[in-house]
A and B are shown apart, each in its own frame.
Chain A
Amino acid sequence: MTVHDHSPKSRVQPASAKTSSSAELTNIPGVMRASDLFKIKLAANDGPERWIEKINGTVAERLDAHIHFTNPYKMEQESKQIYEDLLKLRPIEREWQPLYQLYVSYGLLNYLTDIAKEQTISQELLERAYASFLFYLVEEAGEAAEEIGIHALPFQFDPYIHFLREDAVSLLSSDKLLFFNQRIDLYRQLWTSLFKREAWRKEERRRLQSLLIEKKNATALSAGYLHQLYLANDLEGFRTAAKRMPAIGIELYVAWMSDSIRLKQPDKARLLVKTIDQHLESYLHQLANEGTMQVRRFVHYFLTHIDTEWLADQEPSLYQSLLEKMLPYSYTDLSLYLLQSHRYEEWAELALWMDSDLAELEREGLKEAAKAAPAEVLPIYHHGIVRLINERNRPGYKKAVRYLKKLRTLYKKLKQLDRWELYLHQLLEEHKRLRAFQEECRKGQLIHA
């Protein structure tokens, strides 16, 4: 009986007393605490259906469905607890444990996805509230799948693997409206790490192909199909499919790309980069509607996930095109890249576009550029000087004169002192009313008193 557990009295009882009283009951054969029921470890040979049943049953029993309605944010905490409790019921056999973890995370994710579908509160809110926990589950599942996939699959696993392989396509189901990214992620990880047999993958490809013919515009299915093509190294198929496919999130391409870079598959990586390049602009545009922070975050994510060195080396124009599309968030990378590849002309145009002030640009490599390509940096100095003069104060004039002297050196180097003279003449004429500026020019010996 658990009644006394709930009585106020029991709370004041010492812990030892509690244990002793409950010990009496449990001594009776066949009698156990309800909570202990959960602690019954699943046996390895219960079969996948039983596992799923058990998992679903437990979640259904424990998870207060109302939380979804009242406070979706509480769900994360509760589900996490349930997840951890479920993990405790893992089979004793060590080799079964990863499989069990995979089932639990898979099952929980599916369960949550399914109940979320029935909610009446806004999808956006749900996405926000669930996203990180679901990704956590994906990670857990992914880890487990990987662990399993490292070794040859034991014969006893067959029904379990078969079950998951048949069920996994449901992740792509268009019935499920929410958590697209998490579902695809999980699907990808399963197929990448676990279902490695060529035959399985071939079968899955066919299945998806036929599903796709039935259901047009099924984004998740398309993504799954692309993943299969990706796995099959069918680059041509991938290319044509990618073109036809509805715009799936670019994160997927990025993920494939980083995978293929990691796996040292340059052809694949190149194809993916090209595909990304094609979709990048409209994607960023769309992302910008959610706020520049999103764009900034994506660019950061992207640039940390591609092997820039490899790309800059192998596909320089592609790399540059990507960076250009991600401007201004990719400014630092692009600026550095252009300088490193001695593309000073473009660097100067970039600097002008960024419109930083001269002091900042000097820190970012203007000095170096001026040394290597004096002609290309002239516009930067000219505009920077105008800006300083327009500050209309003494410190501004002082700085302007300093840069004017640099500019003179550049013209001298270019053997265009006549241009310089003309410029200086025009400038002084234009600002002849600015006494302080003229004075600074005299002090700087640009003009002779």
Chain B
Amino acid sequence: MLSTRNITVHLVFTENEQFFLSATADNGRLLAPADWVKQLFVKHEESFFGSQLSSLSYSGKEGVLLSVWQWVTLFKEAQFSRFIRWQWNELGDFSLAIAPVLYEAVTDGRFLPEFQEDGLTFPVPPAVWEEFPSDFWSDSVTELMTNREFTAVLFSLCAQQAFQQAKQLKAEVAPLIGGKLTSSELNRYFDPARWRQWIGAETSEAPFSVGLRLTEPEEEGDWKLETVLINRKNNEKIYPLQGRILKSWLPYIEEAKEEQARWLRLFPWLEEGGELRSALSEELAFTFLTEASEKLIQLGVPILLPSWWETIRKSSLSLTAKVSSTRTRGTSFVGLQALVDFDWRLSMNGAELSEEEFAKLADSNRRLVKINGEWIHLDPEMVRKIQGLMKEAKQKGLRLQDLLEQELTPEEEAEEDWTDPRLFAHIQIELNRSLKQMIQQLQDASSVPILSPPADLKADLRPYQQAGMSWLLFLRSCGFGAVLADDMGLGKTIQLISYLLHVKKQEGPGTPALIICPTSVLGNWQKELERFSPSLTVLPHYGSSRKQGEAFEQAIQGVDVVLTTYGLSHIDFDTMSSIEWSTIALDEAQNIKNPQTKQSRAIRKLQGRHHIALTGTPMENRLAELWAIFDFANHGYLYNLPQFQKQYIVPIEKDNDTSKVEQLQAKIRPFLLRRTKRDPEVELNLPDKLEQKEYCPLTAEQASLYQQLVDETMDNIGKLSAFERRGLILQMLNRLKQLCNHPALYLKEQEPENITSRSEKMNKLVELTDSILEGQEAGLIFTQYIGMGEMIQQELESRFGLTVPFLNGSTPKHQRDQLVQDFQQGKFPLFLLSLKAGGTGLNLTAANHVIHFDRWWNPAVENQATDRAYRIGQNRFVHVHKFITTGTLEEKIDSMLEKKQALNDEIISSEQWITEMNDRELKELLQLH
């Protein structure tokens, strides 16, 4: 409840041409707007009774701000709450006096606006001035202006805002401003009477409306233009103004004449001797059809035009390039840049034109032509553009890329914008048969013919891997780059290796293939190439002894695969770019995702006959990354980056334009193969369990420590008794394993720093975690060392913001059960276990990744641990990652284990057998390679 019943309202006209209202009570106390606004605006529909006004502070007072239109509507009838005795400051009293007059003047429309480029201005009608004596006008309620000046400002604002405000009622005004008519044309056309009709303040009594009719000539000759009267009740009934007129219509004939006079004012070229020009030449008729008629329609004048005009106006010339059956021009037909031969065809409204006919018409400079009894509208501007386009296209040729663009992307709305930078955006392309087939295969990877696995491959390909290999080979045959984006664990490596074997066999020795991968998987590649394709000669290009320049060219003679890292391909760019590689393959291609980096740019510049990108992470959502990878695989296919940004990134990321997403997907789909573990065809082909060894090199720090420890031990070992010797060896083995895991573990650092960069195992673990989280999967991490576990725990928790529980020997029973239960319910994705504590008795089937951070030399123990995840109840396939540091005893023991599978379990069930080695064997085992 409002405690006061007397309110004084204070109005201020602000510098922004608005009214600011505040209110005080009897005692001069400022009232909160919430208290008085609803009383003051109780009848004010415009602001929904004040509920849509927000209060704000002006010169330190709380109040509300009103536009001039809101002000005038508030004060027009001065209806405020009767339960308040209202008092006003001087401007308030002025408002009460002037607002009703202004409101009436604005709404009855008895005034004529002046049209200006940016809108209307409204001179004050005389009726307003007559309302008050002259001393009222010379007085002033605001500081800067007399009431006369002030009122002029208010009236103009009022009228403008009235039209904006009432736009749903008076939508008529909006199209005038900024429409086809210029402001001077509007000013010429409108007079007060017409204006009042226009805004709906008055309606004509006449039983007819007044329009214009244009009639085409029978054959050649002039067009006929006449003013017509159209019966309002039946607009089929049309009578020329110059003809015989119904008697009852005669009293209104003056209106028709006035309207005609307005047209002549508007378009003086329609006038001939004070009358409407009745005969129009073809050029004038065209002007009337295209410009005048549209403007008149906008002004609400009924225009009767030949019926064909509508279809013509809307239709446009279509230009078709028919690919000739010889298919290619130039020498080779591979790659997106390859050129295709074609002929032009033009058509419009079903009428076909040959290139010559078109050229002839264009030369004649006519706008309206009758061909085969059909009128055709030739816009000289458009004709000129088409001619230019045809010429340019002939010069540049039709690229395969242009063709694909049309075939692959969904139909766009036909645009009448001939300025699209993409040359062929407006040209229909008609394909020949072989191209059609190729495009069909591109669109549907499953229609690519399946090739048999290469004979030299020392492994069995699963069907989907075979399909992947075939797809890579198909794209190679077309000269298109490929992006193989299968899920982690589906065997991208083996698909590439079998592809390489195929290529070698088919194309014979040429230049080698280049595989670029992150340092962390370099060892992996080497191992897998050795294992699956011993027939391929591999040259690892890394380490300080790598060759450069000519020496490198020498070195690659007879080599099939060169293996290097991202960093080196940038550092050794000169060497790498001097070769045209048979194939360039990027493993973990997301490494070039940042297009601006030097590394990314260098790699995208390398030359190869076929570019393949392998990546395990989906990239549809990271468009810049997508672009970078595609720019490597199919250079130029997604334009340059700024164009791509404009065409796709902005509309998709900013405007959420789904049609653009579809378009882009359609465009990249032929060159991107992505299968996930959940794909039905893959799922059937997957083993239950996949074991993968992850080879990690030692870091420089690890290597020097390793060497040092081995040297020291070997020095001492000769001096010891057999028993002491055994002890020392066991101790050293243990320390070496720690070192292979992480130098900080070995050095027993309390607060290790730079955890990931000092150990490739750690780095690998982070990468794996990344993709596990991305796929919303879960994993177990086993280690034998509490210290290692804690380090992993700390690193993963801080890096990913996860809780990674660590189950070890000291975890009490009930907590253990709780953790297992939570993990099974998916409450956390990664679970660290010490091998001894977690190796047996737990059921952790929620995990589908098992990571062995270090090795246990006893396969049985490892298998038991793996079985935590891989056992009855597991419905996904389990991916086992075994981390092995290359060149160390880990790798050597691993290969021994592989070879000695026949050996008695007992022998290898402990590390005892190592202590039984002689010094030479031992040195061989320990020596870094």
Measuring CB to CB, which residues of chain A are less than 8 angstroms from any residue of chain B?
324, 327-328, 346, 348-350, 352-355, 378-379, 382-383, 385-386, 418-419, 422-423, 426-427, 430
Q: A382, B168: Cβ atoms under 8 Å?
A: no
Q: B1, A426: Cβ atoms under 8 Å?
A: no
Q: B38, A352: Cβ atoms under 8 Å?
A: yes
Chain B residues, CB < 8 A from A352: 38-39, 42, 81
Q: B52, A350: Cβ atoms under 8 Å?
A: no
Q: B1, A386: Cβ atoms under 8 Å?
A: no
The 28 listed contacts between A and B (C-beta, < 8 Å) are A327-B83, A348-B42, A349-B39, A349-B42, A350-B83, A352-B38, A352-B42, A353-B83, A353-B84, A354-B1, A355-B1, A355-B2, A379-B42, A379-B43, A379-B51, A382-B48, A382-B50, A382-B51, A382-B52, A383-B38, A383-B50, A418-B168, A419-B45, A423-B48, A423-B52, A426-B48, A427-B52, A430-B52
Q: A346-B82, A353-B39, A383-B51 are in contact. List 19 more A-B contacts (CB 8 A).
A: A349-B42, A349-B83, A352-B38, A352-B39, A352-B42, A352-B81, A353-B2, A355-B38, A379-B38, A379-B42, A379-B50, A382-B48, A382-B52, A383-B49, A386-B51, A418-B168, A422-B168, A423-B52, A430-B54
Cα distance, A349 to B5, chains bound together (Å):
13
Q: A378, B1: Cβ atoms under 8 Å?
A: no
Tell me how many residues of B have a C-beta within 8 Å of chain A. 21
Q: Mark B1-33, 1 if CB is under 8 A from A, else 0.
A: 110010000000000000000000000000000
Cα distance, A12 to B209, chains bound together (Å):
124
Separation in Å of the B438 CB from the closest CB of chain A? Answer: 44
Chain A residues, CB < 8 A from B48: 378, 382, 423, 426
What are the 7 closest A-B residue pairs judged by CB atoms, nearest first?
A: A379-B49, A382-B51, A353-B83, A349-B81, A386-B51, A352-B38, A383-B38
Cα distance, A385 to B38, chains bound together (Å):
13
Q: B42, A385: Cβ atoms under 8 Å?
A: no
Q: A353, B45: Cβ atoms under 8 Å?
A: no
Separation in Å of the A127 CB from the closest CB of chain B? Answer: 29
Which chain A residue lies CB-closest to B48?
A: A382
Q: B83, A382: Cβ atoms under 8 Å?
A: no
Which chain A residue lies CB-closest to B45?
A: A419
Cα distance, A349 to B39, chains bound together (Å):
7
Separation in Å of the A341 CB from the closest CB of chain B? Answer: 15
Q: Mark B33-60, 1 if CB is under 8 A from A, else 0.
A: 0010011011101001111101000000
Interface core residue of A348, A353, A378, A430 (most chain B CB under 10 Å): A353
Cα distance, A386 to B49, chains bound together (Å):
11
Which residues in chain B, 66-85, are within 8 Å of chain A measured between CB atoms? 81-84
Separation in Å of the B82 CB from the closest CB of chain A? Answer: 6
Separation in Å of the A332 CB from the closest CB of chain B? Answer: 13
Q: B49, A328: Cβ atoms under 8 Å?
A: no
Separation in Å of the B20 CB from the closest CB of chain A? Answer: 20
Measuring CB to CB, which residues of chain B are less than 8 angstroms from any residue of chain A?
1-2, 5, 35, 38-39, 41-43, 45, 48-52, 54, 81-84, 168
Cα distance, A386 to B42, chains bound together (Å):
15
Q: B52, A378: Cβ atoms under 8 Å?
A: no
Chain B residues, CB < 8 A from A419: 45
* CB within 8 Å: A-B pair count: 57
Chain B residues, CB < 8 A from A422: 168
Cα distance, A133 to B82, chains bound together (Å):
44
Cα distance, A352 to B42, chains bound together (Å):
8
Q: B81, A353: Cβ atoms under 8 Å?
A: yes
Q: B5, A327: Cβ atoms under 8 Å?
A: yes
Chain A residues, CB < 8 A from B81: 349, 352-353
Cα distance, A422 to B82, chains bound together (Å):
28
Cα distance, A328 to B3, chains bound together (Å):
9
Cα distance, A386 to B5, chains bound together (Å):
23
Which chain A residue lies CB-closest to B51?
A: A382
Which chain B residue lies CB-closest to A389?
A: B51
Separation in Å of the B66 CB from the closest CB of chain A? Answer: 15
Cα distance, A406 to B35, chains bound together (Å):
24
Chain B residues, CB < 8 A from A426: 48, 52
Chain A residues, CB < 8 A from B2: 353, 355
Cα distance, A133 to B38, chains bound together (Å):
49
Cα distance, A37 to B35, chains bound together (Å):
71
With A352-B42, A355-B2, A418-B168: A378-B82 Cβ-Cβ less than 8 Å:
no
Chain A residues, CB < 8 A from B39: 349, 352-353
Q: A378, B83: Cβ atoms under 8 Å?
A: no
Chain B residues, CB < 8 A from A328: 1
Q: B49, A378: Cβ atoms under 8 Å?
A: yes
Separation in Å of the B558 CB from the closest CB of chain A? Answer: 66
Cα distance, A227 to B186, chains bound together (Å):
80
Chain B residues, CB < 8 A from A427: 52
Separation in Å of the A34 CB from the closest CB of chain B? Answer: 62
Chain A residues, CB < 8 A from B52: 382, 423, 426-427, 430
Cα distance, A386 to B37, chains bound together (Å):
13
Chain B residues, CB < 8 A from A378: 48-49
Which chain A residue lies CB-closest to B52?
A: A426
Cα distance, A195 to B35, chains bound together (Å):
55
Which chain B residue lies CB-closest to A407?
A: B48
Cα distance, A270 to B595, chains bound together (Å):
94
Cα distance, A427 to B52, chains bound together (Å):
8
Cα distance, A383 to B84, chains bound together (Å):
18
Cα distance, A422 to B35, chains bound together (Å):
25
Interface core residue of B39, B48, B50, B84 (most chain A CB under 10 Å): B48
Cα distance, A434 to B48, chains bound together (Å):
21
Interface core residue of A327, A346, A379, A383 (most chain B CB under 10 Å): A379
Chain A residues, CB < 8 A from B45: 419
Cα distance, A299 to B45, chains bound together (Å):
36
Cα distance, A430 to B51, chains bound together (Å):
12
Cα distance, A379 to B83, chains bound together (Å):
15
Cα distance, A346 to B51, chains bound together (Å):
19
Cα distance, A349 to B43, chains bound together (Å):
9
Separation in Å of the B64 CB from the closest CB of chain A? Answer: 13
Chain B residues, CB < 8 A from A327: 5, 83
Cα distance, A418 to B43, chains bound together (Å):
18
Chain A residues, CB < 8 A from B82: 346, 349
Cα distance, A9 to B797, chains bound together (Å):
101
Cα distance, A327 to B6, chains bound together (Å):
13
Q: B49, A353: Cβ atoms under 8 Å?
A: no
Chain A residues, CB < 8 A from B38: 352, 355, 379, 383
Separation in Å of the B341 CB from the closest CB of chain A? Answer: 53
Separation in Å of the B47 CB from the closest CB of chain A? Answer: 9
Separation in Å of the A91 CB from the closest CB of chain B? Answer: 58
Cα distance, A99 to B54, chains bound together (Å):
73
Chain A residues, CB < 8 A from B1: 328, 353-355
Cα distance, A193 to B327, chains bound together (Å):
129
Interface core residue of B38, B52, B82, B168 (most chain A CB under 10 Å): B38
Which chain A residue lies CB-closest to B83?
A: A353
Separation in Å of the B272 CB from the closest CB of chain A? Answer: 46
Cα distance, A353 to B38, chains bound together (Å):
8
Cα distance, A327 to B84, chains bound together (Å):
11
Q: A385, B51: Cβ atoms under 8 Å?
A: yes
Separation in Å of the A248 CB from the closest CB of chain B? Answer: 25
Which chain B residue lies CB-closest to A353?
A: B83
Chain A residues, CB < 8 A from B84: 353
Chain A residues, CB < 8 A from B49: 378-379, 382-383
Chain B residues, CB < 8 A from A350: 83
Which chain A residue lies CB-closest to B3?
A: A328
Chain B residues, CB < 8 A from A386: 51
Chain B residues, CB < 8 A from A348: 42
Separation in Å of the B85 CB from the closest CB of chain A? Answer: 11
Separation in Å of the A347 CB from the closest CB of chain B? Answer: 11
Which chain B residue lies CB-closest to A420?
A: B48
Cα distance, A346 to B5, chains bound together (Å):
15
Which chain A residue lies CB-closest to B35?
A: A355
Which chain A residue lies CB-closest to B43?
A: A379
Cα distance, A350 to B82, chains bound together (Å):
8
Separation in Å of the B51 CB from the closest CB of chain A? Answer: 4
Chain B residues, CB < 8 A from A354: 1
Chain B residues, CB < 8 A from A379: 38, 41-43, 49-51
